[in-house]
Structure 1
């Protein structure tokens, strides 16, 4: 019994000594090399030299007294010991980051910010309710809501200037390094002011929209391709008289004062349609249906405050999904 106790005590002491020698940089280099399967690529990601990363890996293997990585011309592969250690190293690093974030957030109380890229499709029908819900939680955070073209917002997200982007799913080529979380689906609609001449034409013919000024999504906007495909499927060519814009405020006022037709994501004008301020033309636009959701960086875990805001967005989006018949 005494011998067993002595052995356990010796093992615990040795483990403690090893733990004290392993540093944050050891884990960071090992995890990144395992992720990249390459010392050189890991060095680029970590902004270190290749010799510096190799040194940290060698130190870690000497501390643990096992080989964690097999190095060959094909790259770097984990050994059996490496695969076991990776599981716990990743969990340790994540826990350390979460703990550090919590301390920083506590120190920055009152000055912490969440930077959110907002696309027009959610600015009116999701974000207001989400912000109200989030503020009721009592979290002392400044929300910085930024609108702009999707390409710009995603580039800002990728480099860390934004914490998340809320809106339609972007094209695959723009989603490298990013992760999308679906909230609901939404279609494009064609709206006009009450009393518009087209509303009296029975049966309605889509070709008649060529006789009017049309507000069309800008070339770089997410819905532009979907709209163009829809018009082609309806036998429509290039619309001769169009203004390209993604401005919701301009669109709403311009439509009220003219006989223009506005082609826009339905979420942008959902309230105006519901209250009779704008009227939808009788077109079946289901083929323009597209996913709306949250885009975040794939390699970054949301802070507790950001996760709370995401939860508020989900709550607000659930009511939109219900209206759209998705729930």
Structure 2
């Protein structure tokens, strides 16, 4: 009798539950997403660990984190589920509209994507563009499971790029944006430490630019920030700094249009150390669809024009 390819005791529910917990770093969050009780989710993960004969999560901290064993399994589990989903969609998709699913970080959502999607929509025949926003870790997890076709934004840290490919489009820096007429803009001898007296809108801890921001603040001796507000919401950040004296530390692409229109201003800070690559992140094992390829080309065209403006 031949040995089964996969232990038949490992079910799809085990894999789905594992991926949800890995994505959310929370058993409670995964249980809510799956519409099951937390004990049921915990039991499912324990069953999977017993079948795999290895511990998938480090439970010593408040937020769950993957063990080395779990990280290896994640790569293959997410790829397998994505391939299965792709096969099901392909089998069912005869005669259905093509959907291009894009994970977009805030830095491209305001500056690049609108013009690229407009051009793509004019050229494409009936393709639907579905745009999902959120922090980088969340979008990469969707990419690994096949829930988005590509992610556009800053390149993630190398340890998060296993099984993924990156295509560089342009580079941008982090800026400190304020409302026009902000008191700090009137200071003749500005120093970064002056921001300590004002509320600061910071990128969330799981955002790509957070370590860069913390590094530059520490290097300039900024250690006593007033009440911080953590957000990746463009709409909230834009509205809040226009109405208050808060200082918004954000990727330049998010506020580029506001700066050009005079709705916001940038503090005179050298943030060249925060310059980083922005581009496409895709899966190595999956070729983009024809529609996704066309959208990617539209994005390339827009960023080519941006680079021309910067030169």
CA contact (8 A) 1:183 1:321 kept: no
Shift of 1:322: 2.4
Which among 291, 307, 311 is matched to residue 305 of structure 1? 291
Q: Write out aligned runs for 1:225-240 (5 A).
A: 225-240=211-226
Counterpart for residue 202 of structure 1: 188
Contact 1:214/1:261 (CA < 8 Å) preserved in 2?
yes
Instruction: Map residues 167-316 of structure 1 onto 2, 5 A cutoff.
Output: 167-316=153-302
Please report how far the alpha carbon of residue 275 of structure 1 lies from its aligned counterpart in structure 2 after TM superposition. 0.9
SS in 2 for 1:227: helix
Contact 1:170 1:222 in 2 (8 A): yes
TM-score (norm 2): 0.70
Cα distance change, pair 105–286 in 1 and its aligned pair in 2 (3 A): farther
Deviations 1:248-280 (A, max 9, x none): 000000011000000000000000001111000
Unaligned runs of 5+ in 2: 7-85
Distance 1:125-1:105 versus aligned 2 partners, 3 A rule: farther
CA contact (8 A) 2:196 2:224 kept: no
Shift of 1:240: 3.0
- The 3 A distance-change label for structure 1 pair 107 and 237 is closer
The RMSD of aligned alpha carbons is: 2.4
Q: Rg bigger for which structure? A: 1
Alpha-carbon shift at residue 140 of structure 1 (Å):
1.6
SS at match of 1:208: helix
Q: How big is the shift at 1:317?
A: 1.3
Measure how far apart 1:241 and its partner are: 1.9
Query: 1: distance between equivalents of 2:248 and 2:135?
Result: 18
- Give SS of 1:271's match: helix
Closer/same/farther in 2, CA of residues 319 and 109 from structure 1, 3 Å limit:
farther
User: CA 1:165/1:200 → structure 2, altered by over 3 Å: closer, same or farther?
Assistant: same
Q: Partner residue of 1:321? A: 307
